[in-house]
Structure 1
Amino acid sequence: MAITETAYAKINLALHVRGKREDGYHEIETLFAFVDAGDTILAKPAERDTLTTVGEFAQALDNPFDNLVMRALNTLPRPQGLDVTLEKNLPIAAGLGGGSADAGAIFRIVEHYHGLPEDWHFRAERLGADVPSCVKSEMAIGRGTGTELEAVENDMAGMAVLLVNPRIPLPTAPVFKAWAGEDRGALPTGTAREIAQNGRNDLREPAIEICPQIADILEELSREEPFQFEMSGSGATCFALYEQTAARDEAARRIAGAHPEWWQMTGKLR
């Protein structure tokens, strides 16, 4: 029987870069959150693994058979294959963990059919630093490169979310390379709301240097005075959180009218 999974869009409600490691990666502290919308994956048992990509951003995948969906399938032992259709609704290189979210959804699909191996976290970690968080797709604090996960009191579930992207891919590596190298302090403590309110995104300024449109989006998102607005991850997607759905929808309508070239998605925090 076929099943459908949402690859939930990942946003960073705060992202503190603490330093560069000897292995070239960066030490970070972040608050991962997930929106109840994203890519859609349909899967059914098959003799061998197959992948079909559809949706607005399907053509942006340079090699769909070498993306994180196929890599996730290849890393999980199973007695049978899966016929997978990926509806790519999230933009590529957008700070939303799109590929990692797709991989996380594959882990949940395999868990449904066969269960996961005991070392699933290690297998997820090898695919990408934020893949382990995307497997669960639950709000969590991430440390190290983002793979060390800690529980946090989620007092933000159900908040309305607006995501906006200028349709400009922004790969992670150049943004981290442009980071000034200054440790501006640890992630705040407390509930998710307290961390989100008192945290920051240390990659915002280096990302704006590469993609100035991010500053334009943040300015637009500030106008309805949302609970929080910030760039997600390494960009270029920005988010705004609202206590009331009507305020989010009004902001979405206004921004779509002023900037029809920008991509949008709405949802709620999980």
Structure 2
Amino acid sequence: MAITETAYAKINLALHVRARREDGYHELETLFAFVDAGDTLAAKPADRDRLTTVGEFAQALDNPFDNLVMRALTSLPRSAGLEMTLEKSLPVAAGLGGGSADAGAVFRIVERIQGLPDDWQQRAERLGADVPSCVRSEMAIGRGTGTELEPVDNDMSGMAVLLVNPRIPLLTGPVFKAWDGEDRGALPTGTAREIARQGRNDLRPPAVEICPAIADVLGSLNETDPWMCEMSGSGATCFALYESPEHRDRAASVLADLEPEWWQMVGLLR
């Protein structure tokens, strides 16, 4: 019998870039949040590890056997192989932590089968800065490169979310490289709502410079009267939050009529 896990889409409700590090990474302060929708992973026991990738964005993975699903599988000690099917519903290079979310789902599958090793967080960190947060897929503050996680008062659970991407891949590296290096201050304190309201995404200006369509998406989302809207991560996906699913669904319908080529996904904050 197959075990199924959702690889929950990650969004950054705020993302403050504080400094460039000598190792090439950046010091960050971010508020991670997760949508109750994303890619889907199904796994069943096998004589060896195998991966099949299906779904709308399956072809965007250059080498399915070298993606984060297989790397996550390889990183965890197991008594038997797993045959996995990844339904790729999230766009690639989109600021949603798609690969990291997939890896997080692998960790949860292995946890359900036989448990995780005590050093699972270090193993997750070696796969990518977003992977530790994606394993639990719970709202948290991330510091350092994003791997130092702190709890936060989540008063946003259940808020309706609309994700929109102009179907333009945007690699993280060039966006960070284009950041102007100015420290604009620390992440606000308080509940998730207070941090989200008062925070910012320091990567939005360089991302818009590289991908002007992001400004078009944000402009269209702003016209739907959301509680807030912002770009996620390094882009190009943007999100809008609403107090009710009905408001969100009306907004999604309006945008679908105006820009039928844009990718959309709806859900609720976890």
- TM-score by length of structure 1 reads 1.00
1:175 counterpart SS class = helix
Q: Displacement, 1:224?
A: 1.9
Task: For 2:234 and 2:199, locate their aligned partners in 1 and report how far apart those are by CA, in whole Å.
Answer: 15
1:241 counterpart SS class = strand
Corresponding residue number in structure 1 for 2:128: 128
Q: Displacement, 1:225?
A: 1.5
Task: For 1:153 and 1:190, locate their aligned partners in 2 and report how far apart those are by CA, in whole Å.
Answer: 8
Q: Displacement, 1:2?
A: 1.2
Indicate the RMSD between aligned Cα atoms, in angstroms.
0.4
Corresponding residue number in structure 2 for 1:138: 138
Corresponding residue number in structure 2 for 1:225: 225
1:113 counterpart SS class = helix
Q: Displacement, 1:244?
A: 1.3
Task: For 1:184 and 1:255, locate their aligned partners in 2 and report how far apart those are by CA, in whole Å.
Answer: 32
User: Deviation digits for residues 152-204 of structure 1, max 9, x if unmatched?
Assistant: 00000000000000010000000000000000000000000000000000000
Corresponding residue number in structure 2 for 1:46: 46
Corresponding residue number in structure 2 for 1:13: 13
Task: For 2:165 and 2:244, locate their aligned partners in 1 and report how far apart those are by CA, in whole Å.
Answer: 22
Moved over 6 A (4+): none
Q: Displacement, 1:261?
A: 0.7
Alignment of 1:1-270 (within 5 A): 1-270=1-270
Task: For 1:53 and 1:19, locate their aligned partners in 2 and report how far apart those are by CA, in whole Å.
Answer: 37
Task: For 1:2 and 1:96, locate their aligned partners in 2 and report how far apart those are by CA, in whole Å.
Answer: 26
Task: For 1:216 and 1:132, locate their aligned partners in 2 and report how far apart those are by CA, in whole Å.
Answer: 32
> What residue identity is the alignment partner of 1:159?
M
> What residue identity is the alignment partner of 1:241?
L
> What residue identity is the alignment partner of 2:183?
D
Q: Displacement, 1:14?
A: 0.1
User: Deviation digits for residues 211-242 of structure 1, max 9, x if unmatched?
Assistant: 00000000000012111100000000000000
Task: For 2:186 and 2:159, locate their aligned partners in 1 and report how far apart those are by CA, in whole Å.
Answer: 25
Q: Which runs of 5+ in 1 are unaligned?
A: none
Task: For 1:223 and 1:246, locate their aligned partners in 2 and report how far apart those are by CA, in whole Å.
Answer: 16
Q: Displacement, 1:7?
A: 0.1
Task: For 2:2 and 2:64, locate their aligned partners in 1 and report how far apart those are by CA, in whole Å.
Answer: 21
Task: For 2:23 and 2:135, locate their aligned partners in 1 and report how far apart those are by CA, in whole Å.
Answer: 25
- TM-score by length of structure 2 reads 1.00
Task: For 1:59 and 1:178, locate their aligned partners in 2 and report how far apart those are by CA, in whole Å.
Answer: 28
The percent identity for this pair of structures is 79
Q: Displacement, 1:18?
A: 0.1
1:153 counterpart SS class = coil
Task: For 2:59 and 2:105, locate their aligned partners in 1 and report how far apart those are by CA, in whole Å.
Answer: 20
When the two structures are aligned, how many residues end up with a matched partner? 270
